Amino acid sequence: MRSRRKPFPAPTPDTAAMSPSRPEDDPFPYLPVFFLTAIFFLNFIIRIIISPLMPTILADMGLTPDQAGSFFLVSASGYCVALLCSGVVSSRFLHVRTIVFSALATGLMMVLTGLTHNLILMRCSVFGAGMAAGLYLPSGIAILTHTVAEKNWGKAMGIHELAPNVSFLLAPILCEALLLWMSWRQVLFCVGTASIGMGISFLRFSRIRDFAGQAPNFKAFTPLAGTPSFWCMMLLFSLGVSGTLGIYAMLPLFLVNEHGMAQAQANTLITLSRVATLPMPLVIGWVADRFGLKTVLATVLGLNGLLVLGIGVSQGFLLQVWVFCQPVVAVGFFPPAFAALSHIGTKEMRNVAVSFTIPAAFLVGGGGVPHLIGILGDKGLFDAGFMVAGGLTLAGAVVPFFLTFHKQED
């Protein structure tokens, strides 16, 4: 006797509420976005906090400017390696676990940095911190876009991208406040512990459904390597990172050692210079739509190069003016630069272009340039280091006009 299966009942409001909703119907997930932004903030703070602490570290450990600059090259090298390998890690350990591991390992490496008294061991721990930090961004963006409905991506990205700008703003003043009560080593302990705590909290309270990443396909790089505009963009991003992270890294040491500023005064000036950078991405986005990507990129690089040159040759009040104005111009590079990068090759090549451009830019602009400034500073040519960086950026202002977009906008 054949049994008759009962049809499924029509969904009631109660059963509908229990079923998974579509992302488009979900409310804005404030808690996951908060966690990701907070982790990104600490991730970035850990990568740049040595800069405002550098005059104190230099005096305490008896380092030279060359050795000080090497920390940023070592950190950027680890960050570059991790960015290139992050897909392999997240494909095996899933994105949420990768983010948690990044937060825990970055914090642990920062604590170890504070414990070490040997230069080589300190470089190793800084390299480890940079490498652990580099695992976050690809997985963080993947989780953010997976958790937030597409119609809210702009809002979520805007909140998430506040993290690096606020890090640049708060790192110097945070260091000065903590140095009133503790040593620079204890400052590193505090920041490292905060990262560990945030990683544990994210794992415990985030409630985000985990999924695997995709391992990188290096075969996709072959057609991109034959595109001249790709190499132009790699050069431009290196100059752009140099004008932001590279100059920021060595500026406190330059102001203290070369111009005799008190460390608190130098860090306060750098903090104030970052306040005006917060609205600049919105302003420069409107300007780029109005005047074109190539023109705006060339203008920003040209002005930034002149201001960095001004930092190298000026003294007194004029130097403070250039220090204040330079980051306001420098942060205007990235909105049009990312837009230009998205027009290099076909849409299938965009992801690959970003995957290879950003690590190289951080290695050269965020690591190589500070180390070069430190080498020249060790030879008594600290100002020349800024002049070289400014001159290279100024010369790079012609490069945008050699770009060829897959879909021309200019």
| Domains recognised in the chain with CATH numbers | 28-208 (1.20.1250.20), 222-410 (1.20.1250.20)
Q: Of the candidates 46, 44, 72, which has an alpha carbon nearest to the alpha carbon of residue 253?
A: 72
Entry pTM: 0.81
> Can you say how many angstroms the Cα of residue 170 is from the centroid of all Cα atoms in its chain?
15
Concatenated DSSP letters for 41-86?
A: HHHHHHHHTHHHHHHHHHHHHT--HHHHHHHHHHHHHHHHHHHHHH
User: How far, in Å, CA of 123 to CA of 112, rounded?
Assistant: 11
User: How far, in Å, CA of 320 to CA of 405, rounded?
Assistant: 39
**8 A C-beta contact, residue 194 and residue 107:** yes
pLDDT in tens, the chain (410 residues): 444 444 434 443 333 333 344 444 557 777 888 889 999 999 999 999 999 999 999 888 988 888 888 898 999 999 988 888 887 888 888 888 999 999 999 999 999 999 998 899 999 999 999 999 988 988 888 888 788 877 777 677 778 878 888 898 899 989 989 999 999 999 999 999 999 999 999 988 877 777 776 666 667 677 777 788 889 989 999 999 999 888 988 999 899 988 888 888 988 888 888 887 877 777 777 777 788 888 889 999 999 999 999 999 988 899 999 999 999 898 888 878 877 877 776 655 665 677 788 888 989 988 899 999 999 988 888 899 999 999 999 999 999 998 887 654 43
Running DSSP on this structure, what letter comes out for residue 181? Answer: T
pLDDT, residue 335, reads 78
Return the structure tokens found at 122: 């300190």
- CA angle (287, 290, 295) in 5-degree steps: 75
User: 289 CB contacts (<8 Å, ≥6 apart)?
Assistant: none
Give the chain's radius of gyration (CA, Å).
Answer: 23
Element (H, E) at 352: helix 350-363
For residue 220, how many other CB atoms are within 10 A of its CB? 15
Running DSSP on this structure, what letter comes out for residue 256? Answer: I
pLDDT, residue 217, reads 67
- In this structure, is the dihedral angle defined by the CA atoms of residues 163, 131, 237 and 84, taken in order, positive or negative? negative
AA letter at 70: S
Q: Of the candidates 133, 77, 75, which has an alpha carbon nearest to the alpha carbon of residue 103?
A: 133
In terms of Cβ atoms closer than 10 Å to its own Cβ (0-12, 13-18, 19+), residue 24 is: exposed
**8 A C-beta contact, residue 75 and residue 109:** no
User: 40 CB contacts (<8 Å, ≥6 apart)?
Assistant: 136, 137, 140, 160, 163, 164
pLDDT, residue 128, reads 94
> Can you say how many angstroms the Cα of residue 133 is from the centroid of all Cα atoms in its chain?
10
**8 A C-beta contact, residue 164 and residue 276:** no
User: 21 CB contacts (<8 Å, ≥6 apart)?
Assistant: none
pLDDT, residue 77, reads 92
User: How far, in Å, CA of 285 to CA of 282, rounded?
Assistant: 5
